[in-house]
Structure 1
Amino acid sequence: MGSRFEITVVANDSAKGEKYIDQAINEISRIERLISSWDPNSQTSEINRNAGVKPVKVDKELFDLIQRAIVISKLSDGAFDISYASMDKVWIFDGSMTQMPDEEIIRNSVSKVGYQNIILDKENRSVLLKLSGMKIGFGAIGKGYAADKAKALLIEKGVVSGIINASGDMNTWGLQPDGKEWKVAITNPMNKNKAFALMPVSNSAVVTSGNYEKYVTFNDKRFSHIIDPRTGYPTTGIISVTVFAPKAEIADALATSIFVMGIEVGLNRVNQLPKIECIIIDDKGAIHTSNNIEIDKI
C-alpha cells in the first residue's frame, strides 16, 4: 500500500509477541493483494481493466469495502470518492510547477471520476465501472481498513492490548502495560517537529491528514496535494485534519473528505455522526474542533 506499518503488542512472552506481529503482517499483506491497484493480479486491477466492458465478480470482502466507500461518498457529497484514481495527474507537488494549469485541462482531469458510475450487483457480487478508462483505488481508505483487520485478528488471537500505526493512522485497543490509556500526539502543522496536543485514545482510531509537506503556492495562495475529486482543484484553507473514530477505515476516509468539504461543512457533518470527532487546523493556525473535543495542549 506504499505505507509503513508499525505494530506494537502487549504480551507476557516476547516470542509469542513476535508471532502475533507476524500474523498481523500476513493479514496486511493479504489485504494488499486484494485491494492494490498496482498489483496486476489483484481483483481491484481486474475491475479497472474491465471498466466500460463488463462486471467483475469479486470476493465478498472487497465488494463490502466498495459498498461502504460509496456510502461515505454519499455522506460527504462526493468529497470522498474511490474513483479518484481515474484523475489525470495535472498537479505536481515536487516544486516544478510554475503556473496554474489551464481551466479546461483541470475540468477534463476529472471527467472519468464519479462514484455514481460504480455499479454494484449484490446478487452476483460483481462490480462494474460504467465508463471506459475509469479506475478505483483505495489510497484514502485502504491502510485504515488494513489496520482494522490486523487489529481484529490480534484481538481474536487473544492480544489484550496494542497499537497499529499505519503511516500515522493510529489504531489502539486495551491499555498500556502500566494500566494507563494510550496517548497519541497530534503534530503541530506550523512546526511539524513538535506536537501541539496529547490525546488519550481508548479502543479507537486516530488519523491525521496534513498538507504541510506537499503543496504549491500561486498568487500567495497555498494549494494542497489533496484534490477535490468533483472539480479537479486542490483544497485550500485547511492544513491539518485529525479524526477520531471507532475504526481506522472511517477515520481515514473522513480525514481526506473534511479537507475537501471545508471547515464549516466538515464540522457539521462530523457533529452528526456518533462516536466521531475531529480537530481541524486552518492555514492561519487557528484550531477548530467538533462538539465533544477538549484539547489538552502540551
Structure 2
Amino acid sequence: MQRAVCLAAALLLLPAALAGCAGGPALYTKQFTALFDTVITVKAYAKSQQAFDEWTDDLYGRLQEYHRLFDSYHEYEGMANLCTVNKNGAQAPVQVDGRLLDLLELGVAMGEQTGGKLNIAMGAALSLWSVYRERGLADPDSAALPPDDALQEAMAHADPADIRLDREASTVFLADPALKIDVGAIGKGYAVERAAQEMQESAADYAVDGALINAGGNIRSIGVKPDGTPWVVGVQDPADSGRLLAKAELGGSRALVTSGDYQRYYTVDGVRYAHILDPDTGLPPRYVASVSVLCGDSGQADALSTALFCMPVQEGLALVEALPDTEAMWVASDGTVTYSSGFEAYIAP
C-alpha cells in the first residue's frame, strides 16, 4: 500500500509503570507493525492488562479491515477493494463497500477544497517515482530520476474528474483506463479517524479511560487522561530526529498529522527527493520541510498536511485560516517555524 505521511511526531508520555495511581487505571502500550506499512502505537488507560488487550484486539481488527479495503496492491477474498477498482474499474463500474466510497468522496472533495493540491488520481505517477526511489535506495550510486517522458505520460492520466463515484449504486468507474487511484495521502488518517470513532463508543465497555493512537505520524486522541488533562504530543525537528520543535495538547477527540520530506526520500546527485508529489508538476515540492495540521478529524488532517506541503507557506496559511477548527505549523528547510493564528493556543507549557 502506498505509504503516506511520514513518522513525524513523538509521543510524550510517562512509562506505563509510572502512570497508574493506586487502584486506578494504568497506562498500557502496544504496537502493530502489519498495517498501512507503518508502525502503529496505541497507548490507553485501562483497569487491567486484559481489558487493554481486548480493546486493542478490537481496534486492530477494525484497522485491519480498513487496511484491506484501501490496499491498492493486493486483493482479498470476498472483498472489492481499491486494488479491484484499479484493475477492473475502467471496464465497468465496481460495486464497493460504503467505507471505501466514503474515502474516495473525501479525497475528491479535499482535492476541490485545496485547489487540486490533493489528487487521489496520481497513482501512476506515484508508482513510477516509487520504482526509482526503491532502486536508488538499493543502489545509491546509480540513483536516477524518472525519465521526463515517462513522468509526463503518467501525469496525463491523473485527472480526478475521471473517477466517477455513484453513491446510490455504491460504485466506482474509471473513465480513463490508464488512471490509477492512490489514497496514500488520506487512507491512513481516514482509517484512524473511523476506527477511533468506533472504539470511542465502546471504550467504557472495555473499561478503557482515554487513549492515543499514533499511526506513523497520524495521531488521534480518544478522550483525555483519567485526571482530565490532555494528551501531549511532540512535533519533530525535520533536521534533528532527537529534537522537538513544539509540544501540542490534544484534548478530547483531536488529531495531529505531519507530512515531511525527511523520512521517505532518496538522493540523486546530492539532491533529496521526497515521496510527496506536487499535482501541478509531478515532482516533489520544495516549499517546506514539514507541515503539521491539528484539527478534529484525522482524515482531513492527513489530506490537508499533504496538500499544504505542496503550497507556498502564505498560500497554505490563507487556506487554513479560512477553515473552521483547523490549525497548522510549517517548518522551513532553514528551521523557520510559521504557525496559523490559533496553533499556539494548543502548545503545551
Same fold (TM over 0.5): yes
2:327 is equivalent to residue 292 of structure 1: no
2:159 is equivalent to residue 114 of structure 1: yes
Q: Distance in 2 between matches of 1:99 and 1:156?
A: 49
Percentage of pairs with the same residue = 28
Q: How far apart are residue 198 of structure 1 and its match? A: 0.9
Q: Distance in 2 between matches of 1:167 and 1:178?
A: 27
Structure 1 residues 157-214: Cα deviation after superposition (integer angstroms, max 9, x where no partner): 1243110111121100222244321111110112111112111111200011111234
The letter of the residue matching 2:225 is Q
Who is 2:99 aligned against? 61
Q: Name stretches of at least 5 consecutive residues in structure 2 with no aligned partner.
A: 1-35
Who is 1:150 aligned against? 195
Deviates more, 1:156-165 or 1:64-73: 156-165
2:245 aligned to which of 187, 196, 201: 196
Cα 1:288–1:153 change in 2 (3 A) is same
Q: Distance in 2 between matches of 1:219 and 1:46?
A: 38
Who is 2:7 aligned against? none
Matches within 5 A, 1:1-298: 1-41=36-76, 42-87=80-125, 88-90=127-129, 91-92=132-133, 94=137, 95-96=140-141, 101-157=146-202, 158=204, 159-202=208-251, 203-215=253-265, 222-294=272-344, 296=347
Aligned residues: 298
Retained in 1: the 8 A contact 2:209–2:225? no
Q: How far apart are residue 75 of structure 1 and its match? A: 0.8
Q: Distance in 1 between matches of 2:312 and 2:152?
A: 20
Alignment partner of 1:83: what SS? coil
The letter of the residue matching 2:65 is R
Q: Distance in 1 between matches of 2:340 and 2:163?
A: 32
Structure 1 residues 116-160: Cα deviation after superposition (integer angstroms, max 9, x where no partner): 110112221211111112211221111112211221122111243
Q: Distance in 2 between matches of 1:217 and 1:31?
A: 33
Retained in 2: the 8 A contact 1:36–1:137? no
Retained in 1: the 8 A contact 2:120–2:181? yes
Q: Distance in 2 between matches of 1:84 and 1:96?
A: 28
Q: How far apart are residue 14 of structure 1 and its match? A: 2.4
Retained in 2: the 8 A contact 1:9–1:21? no
Deviates more, 1:50-59 or 1:243-252: 50-59
Q: Please give the root-mean-square deviation of Cα atoms over the aligned residues, in Å.
A: 2.2
Q: How far apart are residue 113 of structure 1 and its match? A: 1.1
Structure 1 residues 64-86: Cα deviation after superposition (integer angstroms, max 9, x where no partner): 21111100011112211112212
Q: Distance in 1 between matches of 2:142 and 2:291?
A: 25
Q: How far apart are residue 106 of structure 1 and its match? A: 2.9
TM-score by length of structure 1 reads 0.92
TM-score by length of structure 2 reads 0.79
The letter of the residue matching 2:54 is K
The letter of the residue matching 1:113 is A
Q: How far apart are residue 40 of structure 1 and its match? A: 1.7
Q: Distance in 2 between matches of 1:216 and 1:198?
A: 29
Retained in 2: the 8 A contact 1:212–1:239? yes
Structure 1 residues 232-251: Cα deviation after superposition (integer angstroms, max 9, x where no partner): 11111210111101011111
Retained in 2: the 8 A contact 1:51–1:134? no
Q: How far apart are residue 43 of structure 1 and its match? A: 1.9
The letter of the residue matching 1:259 is F
The letter of the residue matching 1:228 is D
Q: Distance in 2 between matches of 1:162 and 1:271?
A: 29
